[in-house]
Amino acid sequence: MKKFLFTFLQFLLFLLVFAAGSFLHPFNLHWSNAVTTAGTHYFIADGLLLALGLLLVIIGAQAVRKRLCNTTWTVIAFILAVAIAYAMKLGFITREL
């Protein structure tokens, strides 16, 4: 039960960091430029990069504390958060022509 709770909290943390980076644009990187009749579609990768950086910090802290058995659950929380964020279309921007 304790592992599930920590995994869920990490999932929420990754999702919030992804969302914050998607809305605040701290690095302002544009990926996946697609031009359609509706406009130009961009993917702002800032949230993904911030969540990835947070993942590396958490894994580094787990390695220092010698708690590498929790790394699997941390990676699962990260992958689920990124999948949910993509499903919610966080980071995608459409600019009308």
Task: Give me the pLDDT at residue 32, please.
Answer: 65
Task: Give me the pLDDT at residue 97, please.
Answer: 60
91 phi and psi, to 5 degrees? 95, -10
List pLDDT tens digits, range 48-57: 999 999 999 9
Q: What band does 11 get if pLDDT is binned at 50, 70 and 90?
A: very high
Is the pTM of the predicted complex or chain greater than 0.95? no
Task: Give me the pLDDT at residue 39, please.
Answer: 75
DSSP 10-38: HHHHHHHHHHHHHHH-SS--EEEEEE-SS
Strand partners, 94: 41
Q: Is the pLDDT of residue 1 over 80?
A: yes
Any idea where the domains of the chain sit in the sequence?
A: 2-95
Across the chain, mean pLDDT equals 87
